[in-house]
Amino acid sequence: MKVLVVGSGGREHALCWAIAKSANCEKLYAAPGNAGIAGIADCVPIGAEDLGGLVDFAKSEGIDFVVVGPEMPLVAGLVDRLEGAGIKAFGPSAAAAVIEGSKAFMKDFCGKYDIPTADYARFDEPDAAKEYIHRHHAPLVVKADGLAAGKGVILCHNDLEAFAAIDHILTERAFGEAGDEVVIEEFLVGEEASFFALVDGTTALPLMSAQDHKAAYDGDTGPNTGGMGAYLPAPMVDAKMSKIVMDRIISPTIDGMAAEGRPFKGVLYAGLMMTDDGPKLLEYNARFGDPECQPLMTMLKSDALEALLACAEGRLAEIKLAWHKGSALIVVMATEGYPGYYEKGSEIRGLGEAAGDNDDVVVFHAGTRLADGRIVADGGRVLGVTARAATPAKAQEKAYAAVDRIDWPQGFYRRDIGWRAIAPD
Ligand code: AMP
């Protein structure tokens, strides 16, 4: 079949890499893709936000199946438009993607279906929000309701920070319409994990769980980023915990979304806080995590295209997934300056030397571009060096050995990815 992957990040490179291996994939396209994806798929210059352009391309090219990577086109209704044109797609409808697109929806939904999450209140008016802070006091978490490119969550350690967060979102309108409303949450304490499940509307199939590193620098310091690394499995999500998460969080969500007339199809990504009272839902995402998708795809032994297609066709109950044993870990290499200002266009060498021969080390591209046959940096997060091994420590060693072979003076990365999973000697 002809498959189109929408997006241009490391996540989409990993999806293309996994889909390209399927015997059922005759032709693979990516829109818009990147320099790494160009090695395994035909990249077409259509942006992930150009819904009309993507639907027109899929129709004219006779695409059989579209896999949507990022959240923006999902929330904007790309899957609805593709299905309306008779094209199968992996990902939720706009009505279901609201579980990521609106934190207020997600919190009210959790209340209605008894899904464990932080206590909260919603406000669209600054004085009422501040009055609430006067009564409840920090630490609190203030969140913009809508999609704010990962920046809409403000952890407030004292009341003044919480007042400032309210002003920032509701008065200064820092996130535009995404900040029409705020959610103020109880501050939860614990270790975090990312739980992924494929969902076909009624059946959910858990994938491996991951932990990520959001902070820019070693020791989890510095500004928050899209993610500087991740590893899986998450040590604390063992089989017993996975069942608890499925029973208390994922299954009631699938049933609740169906009952709301918003059946969820695609990948449901639950950001969890493992508290003393058990796992609590921090947020839902309606797509794979980036960078977690990259190690996930390298650990998956089964045919990824078949699993994603079964999801879209409501046949997930037929699927049993096989996984490689051990651990996988990804080190993200970013352009110096990220997540602040950075220059584009620096050349990256040594990528051939870094890659392994048997899929145990894969360098996924994110912000890269081909310029006169050279690979140059074209974004903040640029490469994801992913290694698979018997233990987290071995995966870490392999990943950093590959990173060391990459010649890119303008890049930086963290040296401590995976520290939580690696017991000290
Ligand atoms: P979110 O996008 O809602 O997952 O929030 C981003 C990050 O903020 C999470 O990964 C947590 O580290 C932190 N966070 C969000 N909500 C809370 C909360 N209620 N308590 C403590 N930390 C939180």
Contact between 286 and 96 under an 8 Å Cβ cutoff? The reply is yes
Question: What's the pLDDT score for residue 424?
Answer: 63
Beta-carbon contacts of residue 147 (< 8 Å; ≥ 6 apart): 71, 72, 75, 100, 101, 178
Best residue among 157, 161, 283 to mutate for probing ligand 1, ranked by most atoms within 8 Å of CB: 283
The Å distance, Cα 162 to ligand 1 centre, comes to 15
| Closest of 68, 63, 34 to residue 51, by C-alpha | 68
Residue ranges for the chain with pLDDT beneath 70: 424-425
Instruction: Please give the sequence-ordered ranges of beta strands (E in DSSP) within 164-301, or none if there are none.
Output: 182-186, 191-200, 204-206, 211-217, 221-232, 265-275, 278-285
Distance 153 CA to ligand 1 centre (A): 7
Coil, strand, or helix at residue 125? coil
Query: pTM for the full model?
Result: 0.95
Edge-to-edge strands of the sheet including 182-186?
Answer: 120-123, 182-186, 140-144, 153-156
What is the pLDDT, as a whole number, of residue 284? Answer: 96
User: Per-residue pLDDT tens for 95-144?
Assistant: 999 999 999 999 999 999 999 999 999 999 999 999 999 999 999 999 99
103 CA: nearest ligand 1 atom: 3
Q: Kindly report the protein residue whose alpha carbon is nearest to atom 5 of ligand 1.
A: 153
The pLDDT tens digits for 313-331 are 999 999 999 999 999 999 9
- Best residue among 155, 187, 284 to mutate for probing ligand 1's pocket (most ligand atoms within 8 Å of CB) is 155
Answer whether the bond into residue 392 is a cis peptide, omega within 30°: no
User: Of ligand 1's atoms, which has the minimum distance to the CA of residue 271?
Assistant: 4
Q: What angle do CA 234, 269, 25 make, to 5 degrees?
A: 100
As given in the structure block, the two tokens for residue 381 are: 């997060």
**Pocket around ligand 1: residues whose beta carbon is below 6 Å from it?**
118, 141, 143, 153, 155, 185-188, 192, 271, 282-283
77 CA from centroid of ligand 1 (Å): 26
Q: What spacing in Å lies between the alpha carbon of 101 and ligand 1's midpoint?
A: 15
Ligand 1 center to 271 CA (angstroms) = 8
Find the 224 Cα to ligand 1 centroid distance in Å: 12
Model confidence over 243-257: pLDDT tens digits?
Answer: 999 999 999 999 999
219, with CB counted inside 10 A (0-12, 13-18, 19+), is exposed
Instruction: Report pLDDT for 27.
Output: 98
**Atom of ligand 1 minimally distant from the CA of 187:** 20
